[in-house]
Structure 1
Amino acid sequence: MIKEFNGNNTWRKRAISLVPIIYEVTVSPIPGKVSILQDGSIVVEVGGIEMGQGLWTKVKQMTAFALSSNLSNADDDDENLLDKIRVIQTDSLSLVQSGFTAGSTTSESSCAAVKLCCDILVERLMPIKNRLWEQTGSVKWEALITAGHLESVNFAANAYYVPVAGTGDYLNYGAAVSEVEINLLTGETRILQSDMIYDCGQSLNPAVDLGQT
């Protein structure tokens, strides 16, 4: 089609640009902290900075998944932990060793750190949940947290995610193809169409990844 167009037009020409890419990813260690307040709300802190890449959205989703998959009841329609979670901005004193936000790996590392925190909280709360389940046959989130506070459970968990040796470096692949038209008289350039393919791996949130791309 390009060749046919160029053969039929003297002053306008089209061309295809194909750019493949191989990006070497290096995952960095990053800290995280998850705290459950007395009203059942959840506060999350991570070393990464939200700058439009959807980091906090993914962190909230990971927190909700890691806690609800173990501590919430599937038959409770009102148990939506995602609405109870807020991510707050940290600084280099509240979370030391936070490193820097770069290289499209901060979401990956931050979510891994948050999951480690949630695993600690789940381990602390599971005995209480099991006991309440045996007594009542159902465990509401607020009731679980209230019981935990009465038993002086530590509701703050810190973690420092460090990639396992051999897993911190890998390759991402992608390609972009654009169809461009140039007016040889005026120099006007028009991008008629662009297509991108990017390997997001196991996406935490396809909609966010699509938006970032």
Structure 2
Amino acid sequence: MQAGRPLDILINNAGVYAPPETRDRRGYDMQFATNFLGPFQLTLGLWEPLKRSGNARVVNLSSIGHMFSGVDFADLHFDKRPYDPMLAYGQSKSAVALLSMQLDTIGAEHGIRAFSEHPGGIATELARHMSDAELAAREQVRGEDGKLSVPEGFKSAEQGAATSIWCATSPRLNGVGGVYCEDFDIAKPVPND
């Protein structure tokens, strides 16, 4: 990015889903590092250009998977408990939602609004690490070529990206931030979530 230029929109869309236990070079759980720490570090590195915009939006992809787990601040990287890929995924996506809320709290005075969003079930290779039994529970199968089938009701990649674009551009979100969005709207809270 050219020095001194403002940045109006940042969409943090990197993600991994339920791989076997893997650590990055720092020893951090790979899901937490990719799904949370990467967006956090990129946003931090771009904070000054976002502030220069005076009207910036940061969109962080969370997931309904946040319902699998809260954030275990005492054991972020599964050093003390057995590794569970789904809990690790849920924890990383819960952390993303919390990040968006905090970014909005500290960024609003600089004209930076932050959002987290659930793109929906997307027909991509994100679930490639799941076993055949886990895939079957989602009504998905792995073909002979290794590609995953698309279950009924899943979205295309383009459809999945649509809410991110909506969060980044919709006038309905002017003056709003720190909210969780899905399907072109602010999600309705559910009990115990």
For this structure pair, what is the TM-score category when the shorter chain's length is used for normalisation?
under 0.3
Rg comparison, structure with higher value: 1
Looking at secondary structure, tell me which structure has more helix per residue. 2
Kindly indicate whether structure 1 or structure 2 has the higher relative contact order, using CA contacts under 8 Å at least 6 residues apart: 1
TM-score when scaled to structure 1? 0.25
TM-score when scaled to structure 2? 0.27
Looking at secondary structure, tell me which structure has more strand per residue. 1
